[in-house]
Structure 1
Amino acid sequence: MHCSLLPLLVSLSPAILFLLPGIIVTQEGLWEDYKYGHGDQDNHNFCTWKCLLFTLQWPGTFCQSLNNVSLCRIPPTVNNWTIHGLWPLHAKNRCDCWPMFPSDVQELKAELTELWPSFVRFKSNFHFWREEWRKHGACAACVEGMNSPLRYFQVCIKLRAQFYIHSLLEDAGITPSCERPYKVEEVQSVLAPHVGDKLEIQCITDEQDRELWFQLKIRLNRNLTVGCDLCTDAEDALKVQPGSRPVPSPGHPCPDQVPFYYFPINHERPQRPCG
Structure 2
Amino acid sequence: MLLLGLLLLQLSGITAAHQGHWEDYKYGHQGSEVLDKKPLCSWKCLLFTLQWPGGFCQSLNKDTECVIPQSINTWTIHGLWPLRVLSCCSCWPMFRSDVQEMEAELTEHWPSLVKTRSSFHFWLDEWHKHGACAACVEGMNSPLRYFQICLKLRGQFNIRRLLEDAGITPSCERLYKVVEVHRVLAPHLGDKHEIQCVTDDQGRQVWFQVKIPLSHNLTVGCDHHSGASSGPGWNGSPGHPCPPEVPFYYYPIDHQQPLQPCG
TM-score (norm 1): 0.82
**Percent identity over paired residues:** 63
Most deviating of 143-152 and 44-53: 44-53
Where does residue 22 of structure 1 map in the other structure?
none
Relative contact order, higher structure (CA 8 A, sep 6+):
2
Where does residue 147 of structure 1 map in the other structure?
141
1:32 matches 2:32: no
The DSSP-based 3-state class of the residue aligned with 2:139 is coil
Of 62, 74, 88, 1:68 maps to 62
1:180 matches 2:174: yes
Unpaired runs of 5+ residues, structure 2, are 1-17
Q: Show the 5 A alignment for 1:168-207.
A: 168-207=162-201
Most deviating of 148-157 and 245-254: 245-254
1:118 matches 2:112: yes
Mapped to 1, the partners of 2:175 and 2:155 lie a distance apart of: 27
1:208 is displaced (CA, Å) by 1.4
Where does residue 270 of structure 1 map in the other structure?
258
1:91 matches 2:85: yes
Change (3 A) 1:131 1:142: same
1:106 matches 2:104: no
The DSSP-based 3-state class of the residue aligned with 2:195 is strand
1:256 matches 2:249: no
Whose radius of gyration is greater, 1 or 2? Answer: 1
Where does residue 225 of structure 2 map in the other structure?
232
Change (3 A) 1:100 1:258: same
Deviations 1:246-272 (A, max 9, x none): 452221100001000000000010010
Say if 1:70 and 1:271, in contact at 8 Å, map to a contact too: no
**Greater helix percent: which structure?**
2
Give the root-mean-square deviation of aligned CA atoms: 2.3
TM-score (norm 2): 0.85
Say if 1:87 and 1:137, in contact at 8 Å, map to a contact too: yes
Say if 2:64 and 2:114, in contact at 8 Å, map to a contact too: no
Mapped to 2, the partners of 1:266 and 1:34 lie a distance apart of: 46
Tell me which amino acid in the other structure corresponds to 1:254.
C
Aligned length: 241
Say if 2:88 and 2:130, in contact at 8 Å, map to a contact too: no
Unpaired runs of 5+ residues, structure 1, are 1-27
Deviations 1:71-120 (A, max 9, x none): 11000000000000000001244322211110000001000000000011
Tell me which amino acid in the other structure corresponds to 1:207.
D
